[in-house]
Amino acid sequence: MKYYIIAGEASGDLHGSNLIKAIRLQDPDAIIQCWGGDKMQEAGATLVKHYRDLAFMGFAEVIANLGTIIKNLKYCKGDILTFQPDVLILIDYPGFNLRIAEWAKKQGFKIAYYISPQVWAWKEGRVRKMKQYIDQLITILPFEKKYFQEKWDWEVEYVGHPLTEAIRDFQKEEKQIIPSNKPIIALLPGSRKQEIRKKLPVMLEVSRDLKDYQFIVARAPGLDVAFYENFFEGYDNVTAVSAKTYSLLSQATAALVTSGTATLETALLGIPQVVCYKGSEISYQIAKRLVKINYISLVNLILNKEAVKELIQHEMNATKLKEELIKILPGGEKHKQVIEDYQELKSLLQDQETASTKTASLVISLGKNS
């Protein structure tokens, strides 16, 4: 069968690559075309467009790049029509993918949506249209199945979180040792230039007062090494690595992490963390009025409590970061509790059959019924 997959971010590229591998195990003759990244391409899909050309973060940033987004939508629709997939698989990235879903349903394509938009947080009204245009909604958070069933009378599939398999795969591999004469604090400032410019300078300031630690930045895939160099000037205990985020985290004593998928990765690897968010003031003020959730990190959302500290916008400053970081270092007042909360998180997410295997079965079945 023919599969067309759209992922618009680094996390979608990771989950898409594992899904492609799982599809090929169940359908060896699969022909797969995708929007994604290097991982999806390496897994055997034909890459149409890389996610680094798609990722715009925040309300103001989306408006500023509206022309590019419209061109991408038009190109994508034309490519889907030319390819004629048996099933269209949309991975997260709702601003783009929900528009494609609405259009594709009218063209008669079967649509699976893997990793539901977080409608329980904001823009809840989108669910009415989602029910019309999505043939199979596949969720990855434990509370989502109940939410859609009870609030929207919509039977969706919960497959477990795909990060658990990514972490398991990493833990089976031979580890890449990152040399350091000091204990490591990992810095994960995000994957987009605009968010890195906002957060990395603040994270780096913390290193000035903690000279007994080596601060190591995880560079984002697709960004040049040169982009980071200007940030490091004047810091003698700061270095960086590329394509070694899991290795870095597994060796770290603690981490400062941008809100998003990385918070869950850090937790599943058992590393105490402080979660950071800082965006443009316009985007922050709009989000503050629209978002209806108590937490921004996946760790806290799943556990429904503040297991990890979240420093948002104005609270994300060097003084607060240092204060909260010290609390989670070995011997700190929060260190032991964070580790215990991580165990609870893992017990909620672990499953014998992987999310990718379950999702592959669902999309293959959907395609066969087209």
DSSP string, 270-317: T--EEEEE---HHHHHHHHHH---S-SSHHHHHHTS-SSEEEEGGG-S
Same domain, 254 and 132: no
User: Which of these, 5, 59, 56, 10, lies nearest to 261 by C-alpha position?
Assistant: 10
Same domain, 218 and 78: no
The answer to whether residue 165 scores a pLDDT higher than 80 is: yes
Where in the sequence is the domain holding 334, given as residue range(s)? Answer: 169-349
Same domain, 41 and 158: yes
Same domain, 150 and 180: no
Question: How many structural domains are present in the chain?
Answer: 2
Structure tokens at 347: 């017990």
Same domain, 293 and 359: no
Confidence at residue 278, expressed as pLDDT on a 0 to 100 scale = 83
96, containing H or E segment: helix 94-106
**By the 8 A CB rule, do 227 and 194 touch?**
no
89 forms bridges with which residues in the sheet? Answer: 5, 112
Under the banding of pLDDT at 50, 70 and 90, the label for residue 157 is: very high
Same domain, 313 and 235: yes
The answer to whether residue 239 scores a pLDDT higher than 90 is: yes
* Averaged pLDDT for residues 62-74: 71
* Averaged pLDDT for residues 166-188: 90
Same domain, 302 and 173: yes
Segment 244-292, tens digit of pLDDT: 999 999 999 999 999 888 999 999 999 999 999 886 555 545 455 455 6
Q: Report the DSSP pairing between strands 87-91 and 184-188.
A: unpaired
Under the banding of pLDDT at 50, 70 and 90, the label for residue 25 is: very high
Computed over every residue of the chain, the mean pLDDT equals 90
Rg of the chain in Å (alpha carbons): 20
The answer to whether residue 64 scores a pLDDT higher than 70 is: no
* E-state strands within the chain: 2-7, 31-36, 46-50, 87-91, 111-114, 136-139, 157-158, 184-188, 214-219, 238-242, 252-258, 273-277, 309-312
Same domain, 128 and 244: no
Same domain, 95 and 182: no
Confidence at residue 284, expressed as pLDDT on a 0 to 100 scale = 46
The answer to whether residue 106 scores a pLDDT higher than 90 is: yes
CATH code at position 286: 3.40.50.2000
Which of 60-69, 119-128, 138-147, 333-342 comes out lowest in average pLDDT? 60-69
Confidence at residue 314, expressed as pLDDT on a 0 to 100 scale = 87
Confidence at residue 10, expressed as pLDDT on a 0 to 100 scale = 83
Burial label for 318, CB within 10 Å (0-12, 13-18, 19+), is middle
Same domain, 316 and 258: yes
User: Which of these, 274, 341, 271, lies nearest to 311 by C-alpha position?
Assistant: 274
If one compares 222 and 171, the residue with the highest pLDDT of the two is 171
* Averaged pLDDT for residues 196-225: 93
Same domain, 26 and 138: yes
Confidence at residue 309, expressed as pLDDT on a 0 to 100 scale = 97
Same domain, 345 and 220: yes
